[in-house]
Amino acid sequence: MSTLADEPLTHGDKTALEPAALESLTSNLDGWTINRSTDVPRIDKTFKFADFASALAFTNRVGELAEQENHHPALLTEWGKVTVSWWTHTLHGVHRNDVIMAARTERLA
One-letter identity of residue 7: E
pLDDT, the chain, mean:
96
Domain count of the fold of the chain: 1
The DSSP letter of residue 45 is: E
Q: Is residue 90 part of a domain?
A: yes
- pLDDT confidence bin for 1, thresholds 50/70/90: very low
Q: Is residue 5 part of a domain?
A: no
Q: Is residue 77 part of a domain?
A: yes
CA distances from 103 to 37, 50, 51 (A): 22, 22, 23
Q: Is residue 13 part of a domain?
A: no
CATH number at residue 41: 3.30.1360.20
pLDDT of residue 11: 87
Q: Is residue 2 part of a domain?
A: no
Stated as kind and residue range, the H or E segment containing 83 is strand 81-86
Which domain covers residue 77, as residue numbers? 24-108
Q: Is residue 89 part of a domain?
A: yes
Write out pLDDT tens, residues 48-74.
999 999 999 999 999 999 999 999 999
Closest CA to 107 of 53, 68, 52: 68
Radius of gyration of the chain from its Cα atoms, rounded to whole angstroms? 13
